[in-house]
Amino acid sequence: MGEHIKTVTPAKFVTVIIFALFAICALLAFGYYAYDVSISLILKKEVIEFNKGAMYMLGVGLGAGILVIFMTHELTGKKISDSYNKKATRIAFISIGLIFAFPQLADYIVSSKIKSMDYVFCEEKSYQWLHAQNKVYGVNVDACSSINANEITKSSSGR
């Protein structure tokens, strides 16, 4: 008596897909910029660009991924066990913590490594918009002045 059948509307399905794409894009952005700065440090490139704003995407991507998992369970009508719920809640809290802590930690590590390599901070080529910082370092002052504006990713504000 009273078996409840869950219907999935196209709007709900599209919402899950949008959040899944958002999570994937956030993790890809984080991965790309983390890989880029890592390779630049390893190869000791003449100019090293550190995109601190992209480091926020690790926590954002993980948090959105957990949300997608829960949305999928909701759509399919599957019961979420208490142990699974506890694990997912821990991951959600960790991802929220990563949003705030990881960019600061990554900035500290990269800055310390670059300082030990005797690079100089290229203040004119670096920029910040709210919390999104793009820091540029060069092996010397000449490297900073020789950087073409097209070589550095600029914000949409034109700065």
> How far from chain centre, in Å, is Cα 116?
25
What's the pLDDT tens digit per position in 93-140?
A: 998 999 999 999 999 999 999 999 999 998 888 877 777 788 999 988
Find where tokens 């998992």 sit: 69
What's the pLDDT tens digit per position in 38-80?
A: 999 999 999 999 999 899 999 999 999 999 998 888 888 888 8
Instruction: With a cut of 60, say whether residue 159 has pLDDT above it.
Output: no
> How far from chain centre, in Å, is Cα 54?
4
Which residue ranges make up each domain of the chain? 10-151
| pLDDT score, position 20 | 95
Q: In a 3-state reduction of DSSP, which class is residue 51?
A: strand
Instruction: With a cut of 60, say whether residue 1 has pLDDT above it.
Output: no
